[in-house]
Amino acid sequence: MKKIVVLISGSGSNMVAIKNAIDNGIISDTELSCVISNEPEAGGIEKAQHLGLPTQILSHKDFKTREIFDEELVAVIRNIDPDLVILAGFMRILTSIFTSAFEGKILNIHPSLLPKYPGLNTHESALENNDREHGITIHFVTEELDGGPIIAQGYLLISNTKDSTTLQQRIHQIEHDLYPKIINEVVANNIVYSSHGTIYHPSCQNYQDNIFYAV
């Protein structure tokens, strides 16, 4: 049985989707060992507790520097000893202290088609620039912000969507479908991190092409 830890800062919708995927067998032979948040008031913590999941709060505001916070976060996660660390709306820029501690074992989901629009406000940027397409990127995490090896991307046509809230809701549908599938392949070692890029088992090579979602 593989173990994963999910890090959140907000509502935890992707965390819930991951837990449901484990319960439904989409992610196989895996347990969600702990949900950790840097925000004491994060709505996802209450959701996790309702689902019967272990939770832990580690507020970044209790630490003088980003580095000290990351050192403590590393210690907490090492005590759990997971096979994979999942960032699911974890709104922290991680230092090399964290990324090197779990090299090749950290996944992130970002709401844009990287390398386009790293950072925040991606939905607003896509609308302001009159983009035809918008989507998500799942990638391994390195010290470079939103810059680790890409694993998979899903996209939609913006079409007549005019506001960022509606676009975000559509994007969430892609996230909740694709992220659990990728997690399943990574924990099964069918998708593997390399400093030179992502390595795919032949059964997963379809993820190298952007996946269209009619949502």
Task: Please write the tens of the pLDDT for every residue from 113-134.
Answer: 999 999 999 999 999 999 999 9
> In terms of DSSP H, where are the helices of the chain?
13-23, 43-50, 66-80, 96-101, 122-128, 164-187
Q: How confident is the model at residue 57 (pLDDT cuts 50, 70, 90)?
A: very high
pLDDT-derived band at 195 (thresholds 50, 70, 90) equals confident
Mean pLDDT of 150-176: 97
Distances (CA, A) of 111 to 31, 89, 98, 105, 131: 25, 10, 22, 20, 14
Q: How many Å apart are CA 66 and CA 68, to the nearest integer? A: 6
Bond from prior residue into 149 cis (ω within 30 degrees of 0): no
The residue whose two tokens read 């969507």 is: 161
Reply yes or no on domain 1-102 having CATH 2.40.110.10: no
Q: How far apart are the first and last CA of the chain?
A: 34
Give the residue numbers marked as catalytic.
110
Structural tokens at position 57:
């709060």
**Where are the CATH 3.40.50.170 domain residues in the chain?**
1-102, 109-215
Identify the CATH homologous superfamily for domain 109-215: Formyl transferase, N-terminal domain (3.40.50.170)
Entry pTM: 0.97
Burial of 118 (0-12, 13-18, 19+ CB in 10 A): middle
* Beta-ladder partners of 106: 85
